[in-house]
Structure 1
Amino acid sequence: MRKRLWKLHSWIGLFCAIGLLIIGLSGSVLVFHEEISSALHPDVTLNAPQDEASTRIPTSELTQSVESKFPDFWIRGWLFNTDADKRDRAYVMDRGGDEWHILYVDPYTGETADRPLDYEETLYGWFVQLHYTFFADHIGMIVAAILALGFLFLSVSGIYLHRPFFKAFFRIRWKTSSRIFFSDFHKAIGIASVPFNFILGFTGAYWNISHVAHELIEHSHEEEHEIESPYQEYGDSIDQLATIADQQIAGYALNYIYFPTESDPTFYLYGQHPEAGIINSLYGSTIWISAENGQVKHVTNLKESGWWAKVVDAFEPLHFGGFGGLFTKTLWCLAGLSPAALSITGAMMYFKRKRPKRLRQKPEASLESQSA
């Protein structure tokens, strides 16, 4: 049993190695994507210096300014940045097309970049596509989900196979053969990163599988994909959304608005209830408001939701580690490197283990040639 599990662990590890290497490294970058983007492009992502008297421009004016400045685009979503130093993000789409773009907007001055950026032009967008889809859309998402499930299996089987290693935790024999060194290093990384491996593997697999399943179910009911067009008549009513939302959930923090379309004239609001904890996402409580008459169509208060909804909502902060500031981000960044380290050390262990067998075969082959 143990020998078979060891072989299965080795083969699955080799099969997943390159994919997990890419996912791990890209995930580590995504943990600090905002800090990296701000350092590389402060003129695009950061607000102008503000004094205490500075106030945000009304959202209706910001949206009108964006669509006037870029008439070939229309707004699909608006992300309010909770960090006062960083710009809001307008998610826009080219009219008559279905390609998403990102535009950073200073909410105090209305200043924007020279043009909306294609999603994959941004550091965040490029690494998200690499991390979740390998730039292969739904096929890539399925592959990433399979790799995440493989990673979970490797974590579970690794605990079983190396359970005696807990007795000598972090024992690395430096002055010995490279095979033993890589074996000790592999076990140490695997054991130390077990909690992170379960969190990252399970949440990543859940997101990709649920997204692909949703797309398959949704498209199975659609005969042809239609390009959306903007709903033109919401005007200044967008400034009333926060007030309406607060009437539904007192103290509601509005973080993202998904804009109405001609086929679906509804504002979808995503935010937090006032008692949200550090492992609650920014988008767990949702409110749907009609763009035609301002009537509330649906309210989901995460505080009153079931336990599974609360668990799923915690996946985002738990996956990226942003809930505890720099300390947890650093831990999660290092944890993201563990799949890469495990892939490399696991591969080295496998090939080092194979090498002695070949060496033992050489004298036998030589004797056979001499006897011939």
Structure 2
Amino acid sequence: MKKVPLARTIFKLHSWLGLVTGIFLILLGLSGSVLVFRTELDHFFNRKLLHGLPTGDSGKDQVLKRCYERITNSYPNLDGIAWVNPDAGPGDAYNFRIYFNDTHLLTYDLALISFDPATGKILREGPASDFTPSFIEWLFQFHFSFQLGIPGAALTAIFGITMLLSLLTGAVVYRKMLLKVLTFQIKFNTKNWRTISSDLHRTIGVWSLLLNSVIFFTGFWMNLFAFKEKTWKNELVATKPNTKILISPDRMYRQALLTMPELEPTYVYLPTQPERKFEVRGYEKGQWKLWGSGNSVRVNQQTGEIIQVIRIVDKPFWERVEATFFPLHVGNYGGIIVKILYVIIGLTPGLLSVTGFLLWWRRVKK
């Protein structure tokens, strides 16, 4: 039997990986590009609804408590609540993510609700599986689960690995061209659509190789939870009735900031189940955002006692490395230039998919 050269095997693997994941490359790449400016886009499209609200002192010291009670009264069986914009300025709405469980595997149970902090009025409300509260929130859930719940999250992780393998096999296929492409030694051939697609595929693949590899790997890693048996089992078990906190969340929030004055909060978790704890997470002042918002203060919501203070610099080495995965995936660590770069990189998987398909189609026709 004639032995097939390894290079040819790798080339075939690269081709089939690209064909199988093509449509998903396009969908994940496009949605990822949009989500780079997720917060900015939500602010822009909802500026009249969520910004420029009248400010007032009525109930200002108990605003979190008022929102918490409104949510827990409306949703009696919750996994938890998160205040996702504690950096909101005067006149800005307070946005809360709701974690619930409808016991269906094919739905990822998140919802969004926004309040006018001065009056307690609900400005928008709805599950992230609908466009009603926010298209950006729907797109965020689609990006990591295809709106297919835990199986969708597992599928996204699998495609993260197949995309990474496609890139690495492509790097092997074009290994002799890598340096030449990076040093602009290869001229772009515009003779016909075949040469254009070939040169585009090679050039885009080489220039986006490193960053796409990082994005695909970190996306896979963050969705590893979808392969745990416990995750699937918990999704099918109805959440217990809420156990409401006894201490005012406003008081615990102020207490957490006094305990860690250098903390710039980005996320506040308000528990609804007794085994969870009130937690404020964020960056330390002056910290490079690449290291993630892994600093936190945890408070016992039934007693008000500070039970844990965590600083990213004190964590074990691997946990500090792992904390960089989310910033590396979303591109929020280097200002507007890095974000624009991530938008461009997010478009490259789709371009690679299209040009790769054209090259495959040319071979099939031959």
TM-score, with structure 2 as normaliser: 0.83
SS at match of 2:279: strand
Q: In 1, distance between residues paired with 2:180 and 2:102?
A: 63
1:60 maps to which residue?
A: 62
**Which amino acid in 1 is paired with 2:85?**
F
Deviation of residue 10 (structure 1)? Answer: 0.5
Report whether the alignment pairs 1:21 with 2:31.
no
Alignment of 1:51-200 (within 5 A): 58=60, 60-64=62-66, 67-68=69-70, 71-73=73-75, 76-82=81-87, 84=89, 86-92=92-98, 99-107=109-117, 109-110=118-119, 112-120=121-129, 121=131, 122-165=134-177, 166-169=179-182, 171=186, 173-200=188-215
8 A Cα contact 1:10 1:350, kept in partner: yes
8 A Cα contact 1:81 1:87, kept in partner: no
CA 1:329–1:114: 2 relative to 1, 3 Å: same
CA 1:87–1:314: 2 relative to 1, 3 Å: farther
CA 1:184–1:89: 2 relative to 1, 3 Å: same
More moved, 20-29 vs 55-64: 55-64
8 A Cα contact 1:46 1:106, kept in partner: no
2:244 maps to which residue?
A: 232
2:266 maps to which residue?
A: 255
Q: In 1, distance between residues paired with 2:58 and 2:181?
A: 57
2:15 maps to which residue?
A: 10
2:278 pairs with 242, 262, 267, which one? 267
Unaligned runs of 5+ in 1: 357-372
Deviation of residue 18 (structure 1)? Answer: 0.9
CA 1:45–1:353: 2 relative to 1, 3 Å: farther
SS at match of 2:41: helix
Q: In 2, distance between residues paired with 1:167 and 1:95?
A: 53
Q: In 1, distance between residues paired with 2:35 and 2:157?
A: 18
1:339 maps to which residue?
A: 349
Deviation of residue 244 (structure 1)? Answer: 3.3
**Which amino acid in 2 is paired with 1:212?**
A
**Which amino acid in 2 is paired with 1:149?**
I
Deviations 1:121-140 (Å, cap 9, x if unpaired)?
A: 32222112221111211211
**Which amino acid in 1 is paired with 2:95?**
R
Q: In 1, distance between residues paired with 2:350 and 2:164?
A: 15
RMSD after superposition? 3.0
1:328 maps to which residue?
A: 338
8 A Cα contact 1:228 1:263, kept in partner: no
8 A Cα contact 1:289 1:296, kept in partner: yes
Q: In 2, distance between residues paired with 1:223 and 1:330?
A: 37
Deviation of residue 178 (structure 1)? Answer: 2.0
Alignment of 1:235-246 (within 5 A): 235-236=247-248, 238-246=249-257
Deviations 1:177-203 (Å, cap 9, x if unpaired)?
A: 322221110011011111211111110
CA 1:63–1:329: 2 relative to 1, 3 Å: same
1:365 maps to which residue?
A: none
SS at match of 1:232: coil
Deviation of residue 336 (structure 1)? Answer: 0.5
**Which amino acid in 2 is paired with 1:173?**
F
Q: Compare the two structures and name the one with the higher helix fraction.
A: 1
Unaligned runs of 5+ in 2: 1-5
CA 1:292–1:157: 2 relative to 1, 3 Å: same
**Which amino acid in 2 is paired with 1:189?**
I
Q: In 1, distance between residues paired with 2:59 and 2:287?
A: 27
Deviation of residue 277 (structure 1)? Answer: 1.5
8 A Cα contact 2:297 2:309, kept in partner: yes
8 A Cα contact 2:84 2:266, kept in partner: yes
Find the structure with the greater CA-based Rg: 1
Q: In 1, distance between residues paired with 2:270 and 2:354?
A: 45
8 A Cα contact 1:179 1:353, kept in partner: no
CA 1:2–1:125: 2 relative to 1, 3 Å: same
Deviation of residue 241 (structure 1)? Answer: 2.0
Q: In 2, distance between residues paired with 1:262 and 1:155?
A: 43
Deviation of residue 312 (structure 1)? Answer: 1.5
Q: In 1, distance between residues paired with 2:75 and 2:47?
A: 24
Q: In 1, distance between residues paired with 2:74 and 2:18?
A: 48
1:278 maps to which residue?
A: 289
**Which amino acid in 2 is paired with 1:8?**
L
